[in-house]
Structure 1
Amino acid sequence: MDFGKTADDEEFRAEARAWLAAHAAPSTPRRTWERTLGRAGWIGLGWPEPGYGNRTASLPQQVAWAEEYARSPAPPRSGHIGENLLAPTLLAHGSEEQKNRFLPPIAAGEELWCQGYSEPGAGSDLAGVRTAAVRDGAHYRITGQKIWTSLAHEADWCFVLARTDPASRRHHGLSFLLVPMDQPGRIEVRPIRQMTGTSDFNEVFFDGARARVEHVVGGEGQGWRVAMSLLGFERGVSTLAQQIGFAEELGRVTGTAVRTGAVTDPVVRDRLVRQWAELRTMRWHALRTLGGSGDPGAPSVAKLLWAGWHQRLGELAVRVRGAEGAVGPVDWSPGAPYELDADQHLFLFSRADTIYGGSDQVQRTIIAERVLGLPREPKGAV
């Protein structure tokens, strides 16, 4: 795609940069920040339709916003799932009533969402979901468990992939339901403590939770089609913002290598150069696919590129610091908490990069079967 800079694009970027400089602060509570973004019209730029309280922007302008946001001191977004995953799905598959009910609160930063896909026995194999939704008059009653549910402890709503036909198997008989999280006694959220000490992921237990019949997206039994459509929206303009963060991390690691003298090691120097070159490749790939390459394997290629790259950067971050990278500046006084520094957090968190969001093995299978046309793996193959 041609990302040549027009006067309008440059004006838009300047406006975004100035607004962020005036309003962004890392200490702002995330829900407060979402409402601030909503009031200023910065949520929903990528939606093809205005009129839900959002404003629209061209693709180069969306890229400009994402890049300026990544460079600013703004806090991490907690509205990403609603804005970039659910909203495009509703625009593609939702009824007019669903769009009018759910899109304006997302655009205003008033309602936050989480994604109820993975289960203990159905992570990479999403077609194996066992969470059940049984029709009960004007509602469905949902029973089951979801896991690795990002930001469920903050969310107001969850979109849930559940089995509405108990006799169905695999991809059939699934439905995509919109479920309110404020159901005491029917929904329980348990944070999962990670190696980093944080708890961004959660287990969610549904015990007869209710979802209204009119809040089934795409029709009963069409959940697999809707769910796969949503996954197609998952890796878009936001990947370019992600790469801005990656570049800043690489710059920090390179600076540490110079400070510690590790850069004099030819192996370390070679790895730093490779990380830089691979990051440039990721950007070119992202820009090409944003332009509509039509490649069904593009999202899987993107995930393979960045996941392995980021994991290797985490390993390099602690290596260039030597023993200090393993221990860090620890306060050994009794009762003092053990705090990870930025490099240690990068190393530990990036261990999961090749697993969450579709493991590397799953991405390679998608490329093999859907792009290269290779035979499907036999059922039960190891």
Structure 2
Amino acid sequence: MELTYSAEDEAFRAEIRTWLEANLTGKFAELRGKGGSGREHEAFEERLEWNRHMAAAGWSCVAWPVEYGGRGLTIAQQVIFHEEYARSGAPARVNHLGEELLGPTLIEHGTAEQKARFLPKIVAVEELWCQGYSEPGAGSDLAAVATQARLNGDQWVVNGQKVWTSLAQHAQWCFVVARTEEGSSRHAGLSYLLVPIDQPGVEVRPILQLTGTSEFNEVFFTDATTAADLVVGGAGNGWKVAMATLGFERGVSTLAQQIAFRAELDGVIEAAKKSGTIDDPILRDAIVRAHQGLEIIRLHALRTLGGEQGLNASVTKLLWARWHRDLGELAMAAEGALSILVKEAPYELDELQTLFLFSRADTLYGGSDEVQRNVIAERILGLPREARA
């Protein structure tokens, strides 16, 4: 399917395009292309300032209902916003986890008090969030989490460890899936807690990646506390709320992701021309397949636009993760022998090398390919459940 844009939609496109052109100037012009997967360390404070500049002009959380500080954009207008933002070269935003994940989750499942407390600060980019899901013994199998939270008077006391926690080093808050019912297992007895990071009971340790950067972290909770009323969806309903968050993660913004992917593919083609590998017919065939794969991802995204993605989220994740990982391998083939040389000593990588190394994790983070296939097989196709120990 293709989106059909009304005259109102095209007027909105002109509005956001004009605003971006007028504001990506001066010091903000230097931020074009900064950030993104594997490069979240780039100009973080400056990108935070840019995000707050956008918020002051009303360009934060644009998909949210107006009553919560958003613009209440239609699906078509959300697509336009993300596409124009990506096409402008504007830097990767730092507020993704609050704006795209937690905010919609609170709007759907939070109490009036929780919404009043947290949503305005997300809109204003005054508080940043991280996601406390994965653990050393519970990666893609979220139901195996062992982090515990016990209610003690008017506070939850949290103990456990989370891992692969993106941007925890910059966050003030973490939404944490923890086991709140003693003796419970799997999906039962989990709760979705909002936990402040800046307290003695929380330790954030960076994880050094192949790219030489540290977007991911380990987070240790040792008698960390949060208020008793900061549980979203009610105690024991954490699985439902956590799945809602994952659904929002793979929504309309994935169309902007594909524009970024297109730019990366163009970079691969340019590298192949520069190195001469474009003359290899096998490489040219791989480039054609990459183009076709990207079109398939786009068509699936258009077909499933809007709201919580539900089981479609698993299909979306499978499509883009393997495609992007393969693009990283194609990038190294395109660069040829130069792909094994660092840009500068001791370990400064070029953009395609960063793409290759970071994309090795694409089929793992956010739910591994194996788990996504199980979800599709069991919950969409109705096949027998995989045997579990």
TM band (smaller chain): over 0.9
Q: Deviations over 1:77-133 (max 9, x none)?
A: 111111111111111111111111111111111111111011100111111111111
Equivalent runs, 1:164-243 vs 2, <5 Å: 164-183=180-199, 185-243=200-258
- Residue 374 of structure 1 aligns to a residue in which SS? coil
The whole-number CA distance in structure 2 between the counterparts of 1:145 and 1:271 is 41
Tell me if 1:352 matches 2:366. Answer: no
Shifted more, 140-149 versus 261-270: the winner is 261-270
The whole-number CA distance in structure 1 between the counterparts of 2:21 and 2:316 is 31
Q: Deviations over 1:270-295 (max 9, x none)?
A: 11111111111111110000068x98
- Residue matched to 1:112: 128
- Residue matched to 1:321: 335
- Residue matched to 2:98: 82
Tell me if 1:41 matches 2:58. Answer: yes
Say whether the 8 Å CA contact 2:247–2:310 is kept in structure 1.
no
Shifted more, 23-32 versus 113-122: the winner is 23-32
- Residue matched to 1:379: 388
- Residue matched to 2:293: 278
| Runs of 5+ consecutive residues of structure 1 not aligned to the other structure | 331-335
Equivalent AA in structure 1 for residue 46 of structure 2 = P
Tell me if 1:3 matches 2:12. Answer: no
Q: Tell me by how many angstroms 1:313 deviates.
A: 1.0
Q: Deviations over 1:309-351 (max 9, x none)?
A: 1111111111122111111444xxxxx4320001111110111
- Residue matched to 2:16: 16
The whole-number CA distance in structure 1 between the counterparts of 2:6 and 2:101 is 29
Say whether the 8 Å CA contact 2:248–2:309 is kept in structure 1.
no
The whole-number CA distance in structure 2 between the counterparts of 1:295 and 1:175 is 21
Q: Tell me by how many angstroms 1:71 deviates.
A: 1.8
Equivalent runs, 1:293-312 vs 2, <5 Å: 296-312=310-326
- Residue matched to 1:65: 81
- Residue matched to 2:118: 102
The whole-number CA distance in structure 1 between the counterparts of 2:70 and 2:373 is 37
**Normalised TM-score (structure 1):** 0.94
Q: Tell me by how many angstroms 1:259 deviates.
A: 2.5
Say whether the 8 Å CA contact 1:296–1:370 is kept in structure 2.
no
Q: Tell me by how many angstroms 1:72 deviates.
A: 2.3
Say whether the 8 Å CA contact 2:2–2:302 is kept in structure 1.
no
Change (3 A) 1:313 1:145: same
| Runs of 5+ consecutive residues of structure 2 not aligned to the other structure | 32-42
- Residue 237 of structure 1 aligns to a residue in which SS? coil
Change (3 A) 1:52 1:165: same
Say whether the 8 Å CA contact 2:247–2:309 is kept in structure 1.
no
The whole-number CA distance in structure 1 between the counterparts of 2:284 and 2:15 is 39
The whole-number CA distance in structure 1 between the counterparts of 2:80 and 2:219 is 36
Say whether the 8 Å CA contact 2:148–2:179 is kept in structure 1.
yes
- Residue matched to 2:38: none
Q: Tell me by how many angstroms 1:170 deviates.
A: 1.2
- Residue matched to 1:131: 147
Say whether the 8 Å CA contact 2:252–2:306 is kept in structure 1.
no
Tell me if 1:92 matches 2:108. Answer: yes
Q: Deviations over 1:135-194 (max 9, x none)?
A: 1111111111100001100011111111111121111111111111110x2110001110
Tell me if 1:361 matches 2:378. Answer: no
Q: Tell me by how many angstroms 1:5 deviates.
A: 1.6
- The percentage of counterpart residues that share the same residue type is 58
The whole-number CA distance in structure 1 between the counterparts of 2:310 and 2:115 is 27
Q: Deviations over 1:350-369 (max 9, x none)?
A: 11111111111111111110
Change (3 A) 1:104 1:295: closer
- Residue matched to 2:138: 122
**Normalised TM-score (structure 2):** 0.92
- Residue 197 of structure 1 aligns to a residue in which SS? coil
The whole-number CA distance in structure 1 between the counterparts of 2:306 and 2:335 is 40
Equivalent AA in structure 2 for residue 311 of structure 1 = R
Shifted more, 49-58 versus 307-316: the winner is 49-58
The whole-number CA distance in structure 2 between the counterparts of 1:95 and 1:160 is 17
Shifted more, 34-43 versus 61-70: the winner is 34-43
Equivalent AA in structure 1 for residue 351 of structure 2 = A
- Residue 144 of structure 1 aligns to a residue in which SS? strand
Say whether the 8 Å CA contact 1:36–1:109 is kept in structure 2.
no
What is the alpha-carbon root mean square deviation over aligned residues?
1.6
Change (3 A) 1:81 1:291: closer
Deviation above 4 Å: which 4+ runs of structure 1? none
The whole-number CA distance in structure 1 between the counterparts of 2:228 and 2:371 is 33
